[in-house]
Amino acid sequence: MSLNLKTHTEHFTNPLYLESGRILEPYDITYETYGELNDDKSNVIVICHALTGSHHCAGIYENENKAGWWDGLIGSGKAIDTDKYFVICTNVIGSCFGSSGPMSPKVPHHEPYRYKFPVVTIKDMVKAQRILFDRLDIHRVHAIIGGSMGGMQALQFAIHYPNFATKIISMAATHATQPWAIAFNKVAQESILKDPDFKQGYYDPEVIKEQGLSGMAVGRMAGHISFLSHESMRKKFGREYKRDDGLYELFGKFQVESYLEYNGYNFTKWFDPLAYLYITKAINLFDLSRGFDSLSEAMTKVTAELHLISFRNDQLFKNFEMKELSDTLTEVGNKNHHYIDVDSDYGHDAFLVELDKFQDYVSDVLK
């Protein structure tokens, strides 16, 4: 059967009341669907994307060759089987792939918001999705699944819309972003802000895409460190030196340096720097206990069957952060949660790369 990939954008004119007290109005939400909604609408699965992900989580667009970011997991006959399920993935607000973000036109003058865009939180991203699903007349879903920032959204759904999903899988995430992860974001943010071509937010996006933005490239390099691990870098690159580079040249490069450069500079061709600032801010602000007396109190809200998956060698959100969440659920008497730590050396990006280590688990949960 076909994947039945469709991309849509919905426009909303009612105000979106944000956690900060500010208002986003109007706003757009871009999303993608796969598979077919069944008659009683009982086969919906929501996928939530990470920092630089998008709604395009599966399949390949015409005239492109790169598949969606979770294509190995989502599709006909795959763990998230589009022959059975109707899968929806929305681009988060604050991002740059169609949903409203800092480079969206601000009414009435239709210039980009830039710094006038309000700070959004993971809770706001989830709220916007909930409103989209309302419009689509979907009031309950079979499952919500996400990794990294997507895993944060899944958890936020679990406590703020406890009756919305039957099952929730959150992986490679945390209950509250720790200073270690905030520090990596800080390097990227500072590097973007201090790049003169960023022009204090008044850059020309076309110029950035064409010429690159070295500040964002450097920031992304720091990000890539946190996505991998000592062990996976050692396996991938060792101490291999770039062919044709002299060992004693100041600018001679190890393979790992070449990898970081390529990925860093390539990144500036497809991601927006202001969106990077806003979304990393949302990640930094993520704390499930905010608005509650404690994390324990927040966890009493959970009613869905909740699955927490960590990756042993995750360097960004440490596996014990998920364990802490699981322990807290146990403490408050939640008997409907499951925690597994995937044995992986890869690092944070294992949730994107080592699908074979958890796809059977996901498939079993969905059954």
The length of the chain, given as a count of residues: 367
How far apart are the C-alpha atoms of 219 and 279, rounded to whole Å?
A: 14
Q: Cβ 289 to a copy of itself, closest distance in Å?
A: 9
Judged by beta carbon, residue 6 or residue 235, the one nearer a copy of itself is 235
Q: Does 229 help bind a copy of itself (rule: CB under 8 A)?
A: yes
Helix (H) or strand (E) holding 321: helix 319-331
10 binds a copy of itself (CB under 8 A): no
- 247 lines the binding site for a copy of itself (CB under 8 A): yes
| Binding residue (CB under 8 A) for a copy of itself from 136, 187, 353, 355 | 187
Which tokens in the block code for residue 340? 């597994």
148 tagged catalytic:
yes
CB of 35 to a copy of itself, least distance (A): 37
Is 349 one of the annotated binding-site residues? Answer: yes
Residue 355 C-beta: closest distance to a copy of itself, Å: 24
Region binding a copy of itself by CB under 8 A among candidate stretches 62-70, 81-89, 103-111, 245-253: 245-253
| Distance separating alpha carbons of residues 5 and 302, to the nearest angstrom | 32
333 binding a copy of itself? (CB under 8 A): no
Nearer to a copy of itself, 83 or 257 (CB): 257
Run of H or E residues at 23: strand 23-24
Q: What share of the chain is helix, strand, coil (3-state, %, to 5)?
A: 40, 20, 45
What 8-state DSSP symbol labels residue 348? T
Contact residue for a copy of itself among 237, 292, 339, 361 (CB under 8 A): 237
Question: Given 314, 326, 337, 344, which residue is catalytic?
Answer: 314
Among the listed residues 164, 184, 276, 311, the single contact to a copy of itself using CB under 8 A: 184
Catalytic residue among 99, 100, 148, 344: 148
Closest residue by Cα to residue 329 from 311, 362, 310, 306: 306
The answer to whether 25 and 117 are in contact (CB under 8 A) is no
Tell me how far apart the alpha carbons of residues 88 and 32 are, in angstroms, rounded to a whole number. Answer: 6
Name the DSSP letter for residue 176.
B
Smallest separation, CB 144 to a copy of itself (Å): 25
Residue with tokens 């109190």: 297
Q: How many residues bind a copy of itself (CB under 8 A)?
A: 58
Measured in whole angstroms, the distance separating CA 42 from the mean position of its chain's CA atoms is: 25
- Give the interface segment with a copy of itself, choosing from 18-26, 128-136, 153-161, 297-305 (CB under 8 A): 18-26
What is the DSSP track for 235-260?
HHHTTPBPTT--TTSTT--BHHHHHH
278 makes contact with a copy of itself (CB under 8 A): yes
179 touches a copy of itself by CB under 8 A: yes
**Among 6, 17, 105, 115, which residue interacts with a copy of itself (rule: CB under 8 A)?**
115
* Among the listed residues 274, 306, 268, 27, the one whose alpha carbon sits nearest the alpha carbon of residue 144: 306
d(CA 233, CA 228): 7
Comparing C-alpha atoms, which of 367, 310, 299 is closest to residue 155?
299
Sign of the C-alpha dihedral computed for residues 319, 152, 266 and 8 taken in this order: positive
Q: Is 138 an interacting residue with respect to a copy of itself (CB under 8 A)?
A: no
CA–centroid distance for 294 within its chain: 25
204 is in an annotated binding site: no
Q: How far is the CB of 256 from a copy of itself (least distance, A)?
A: 4
Among 77, 206, 250, 335, binds a copy of itself (CB under 8 A): 250
> For residues 334-363, which are near a copy of itself according to CB under 8 A?
none
Whether residue 109 lies in the annotated active site:
no
* Cβ distance to a copy of itself smaller for residue 135 or 269: 269
Nearest to 16 by CA among 188, 187, 131: 131
Catalytic residues: 148, 314, 348
Contact positions vs a copy of itself (CB under 8 A): 19-22, 115, 118-119, 121, 176-180, 182-184, 186-187, 190-191, 194-196, 214-215, 217-218, 221-222, 224-225, 228-230, 233-234, 236-239, 247-250, 254-257, 260-261, 264, 277-278, 281, 284-285, 287, 318
